[in-house]
Amino acid sequence: MKNLLIKQRLALVVASLFILCSGKAANPIELQSPNGQLKVSIQITDKINYTVSYGRDELLQNCSLQMDLQNETLGANPKLIRQKRTTINETIKREFPMKNAFVKNKCNVLQLDFKRDFSVEFRAYDDGIAYRFITRKKAESIVKDEDLVINFPHEYQSHLSLTGSFKTSYEHPYSHIKTTEYKENERMTTLPVLLETDKQYKILISEADLSDYPCMFLKSTGKNGMKSAFPKCPLEFGDDGDRSVKILKEADYIAKTAGTRSFPWRLFVITKEDKQLLENEMVYKLSSPNVLGDISWVKPGQVSWDWWNGTFSPYGVDFKTGCNMSTYKYYIDFASKYGIPYIIMDEGWANSTRDPFTPNADINLKELVKYGNEKNVKLILWLSWLTVENNFDLFKKYSELGIAGVKIDFMDRSDQWMVNYFERVAKEAAKYKIMVDFHGAFKPSGLYRTCPNVITSEGVLGMEQGANCKPDNNIYLPFIRNAVGPMDFTPGAMINMQPEVYRSERPNNASVGTRVNQLAMFVVFESGLQMLADNPTLYYREHECIDFISSVPVTWDETKVLYAKVGQAVVVAKRKGDNWFIGGMTNSTGRTIDISFDFLPKGKEFQLTSFEDGINADRQAMDYKKKTLEVNNSTKLTINMERNGGWAGSLK
């Protein structure tokens, strides 16, 4: 009996030594968030698997990660060498705060170093989990693929932006699909993706610190899970008009990149409180800091936009409207009157969309720049991305002319070449103090922090899409698209209709939803370059509304989410200096919401000027009522929003 016990113990020792020598973890390696609520458990066997839990609830189960290089697979039969634990606890002053002037960056870090010169770094925040690959290869790496596989322990509700191709404008409406019903042969989705679990947790999936690498898409595993998909690296291009190219040949890999580098973060914002989706700063925290140096010349602000209703839409004037001097001076005069620092000259200002230097015959750019400077209004010029690529010296020439920024359009791709294009443009523009709005773009993935002259980007089904831009879809944007970075939605319509009577055509385009729904967007939606989409004539006519819109800042010192229900409604309060603004939006269901003003400093009285849906706004969407009220820290108020409606107010 004694000999048998000795043999059994010896066998256990040998087994333990074998596990240690083979680099396999006998027990899960765990990393917890600072508050101890979130936990990622990593199991190293023949693969690297992980499970994410909140308290006792497993949210992501037995997920895996792997990177396939040309001659090896990182994560297949991994040999763990060491693990290193650190913490990050810092406060970052944001260059241009979309939510708060200061960002608290606090997390626990676990770096797992493996044989074959690679590591996987995990970070655990109180509101999410993230991981990334790090490689230390001497030679250049050819990445054939990267595998992210996530599995759900139960059926979840997913909110997806489905696309049938890697060539996409990122302007698809959200589809709402049970994860068990999302089939393997269905279309893939762009990021970010939002999941609602069976226990009311919310999981927002996206990526950060994207550089020299393609964007990630997700598709169904067919087994109640999702897996990554990436566009291949393009090798040869052919002509496809004035704003695009055909990809004639693709590589069999997704990226050719430096062998020693960190790869993009795969991130999961996780919360039980819907409001934390709006409050999160995960993409910003995980992305590389400013590389541009002095950025005091970057000035976020509002901009009057000529495209939505066309430069021919102003009326009641004594000149022929169009892409001409008189019309653009009219836009400049309007912007100057309301303290709006920019106007955009969209497609039509140039003689040819292929030529960024020659205005049309009715435009004198030098004179317009001079006229604008006299009125404290700068010009931003629209260009197709292809024209920029073919004329990379334009930034220098625009700077000499006095142009403040460029709006670059129709990229509609996110392969490695195009991701690198975004960064090349941002850095070249910064050399000459030119700001950039990437329209026709993929979602923000950190470039707005690394190159802060990128002050907004599209990648959203915005108001350009007319009847397809409905409040039932818009209400998801603060929780999904805007939760990962600034968003060029282009709000501000002064002709408003309920969907069953909607008719819209230039020069009198309209929005779906109420007037106050549009006003609230200027507070709720985040963009470093917030557009006023409608024409000055209508704003002059609706002077109460333009007085409010033009008073709303685009950067903020503090944000408080007063009410948030994914897909239903949101009410947000934001502070700039001593003044607060409140914006509320709802979907196609009208509702009343009780809000408290306990976010105000004690002992101070504020005057609330509010805009509310009128009594007939459920039929006549332009109906609204303006009110004033004295409020303080102890005030409570019930606000009413009609279907497709909103509520907006300023506190001074």
- CA dist 71 and 73 (Å) reads 7
Query: What's the rounded Cα separation, in Å, for the pair 560 and 376?
Result: 32
HSE, side-chain direction, 13 A CA sphere, residue 612: 20
In order of 190, 295, 596, the CA distances from 557 in angstroms are 31, 19, 20
What is the distance between the alpha carbons of residues 556 and 118, in angstroms, rounded to a whole number? 40
Question: Burial of 165 by CB count in 10 Å (0-12 exposed, 13-18 middle, 19+ buried)?
Answer: exposed
250 is catalytic: no
Q: Is 618 annotated in the active site?
A: no
Q: What is the dihedral sign for C-alpha 221, 222, 226, 232?
A: positive
Under 8 Å CB-to-CB from 351, ≥6 apart: which residues? 358, 359, 360, 361
Residue 329: helix, strand or coil by DSSP? helix
Question: What is the distance between the alpha carbons of residues 380 and 528, in angstroms, rounded to a whole number?
Answer: 14
Q: Which of 415, 440, 450, 412 has the alpha carbon at shortest distance from 346? A: 440
Asked if the bond preceding 507 is cis, omega within 30° of 0, the reply is yes
Residues 468, 471, 472, 478, Cα dihedral to 10°:
110
Closest CA to 269 of 162, 123, 152, 87: 123
Task: List the alpha helices (DSSP H) in 176-299.
Answer: 275-279, 282-286
Residue identified by tokens 């949101």 is 570
Indicate the burial class of 103 (C-beta count within 10 angstroms; 0-12, 13-18, 19 or more). Answer: middle
Distances (CA, A) of 574 to 99, 457, 548, 554, 627: 8, 21, 14, 10, 19
Euclidean distance between CA atoms 497 and 644, whole angstroms: 10
Strands, E, within 527-652: which ranges?
Answer: 529-532, 558-565, 569-576, 579-586, 591-596, 606-613, 624-631, 636-641, 646-651
Give the C-alpha distances (Å, rounded to integers) separating 429 from 218, 451, 459, 572. Answer: 32, 10, 21, 34
Exactly one of 121, 196, 409, 526 is catalytic; name it.
409
Q: What is the DSSP letter of 334?
A: H
Tell the burial category of 4 from Cβ atoms under 10 Å away from its Cβ (0-12, 13-18, 19+): exposed
Out of 279, 412, 415, 464, pick the active-site residue: 464
> Cα(47)–Cα(30) distance, rounded to whole angstroms?
16
Angstrom distance (rounded) from CA 617 to CA 612: 9
Q: Look at the block and give the residue holding tokens 């209709």.
A: 497
Distance of CA 137 to the CA centre of its chain: 32
Distance, in Å, from the CA atom of 149 to the CA atom of 168, rounded to the nearest integer, reads 23
DSSP letter for 463, please.
Answer: G
Dihedral through CA 192, CA 194, CA 195, CA 199, nearest 10?
Answer: 140
Q: What residues are labeled active site?
A: 409, 464
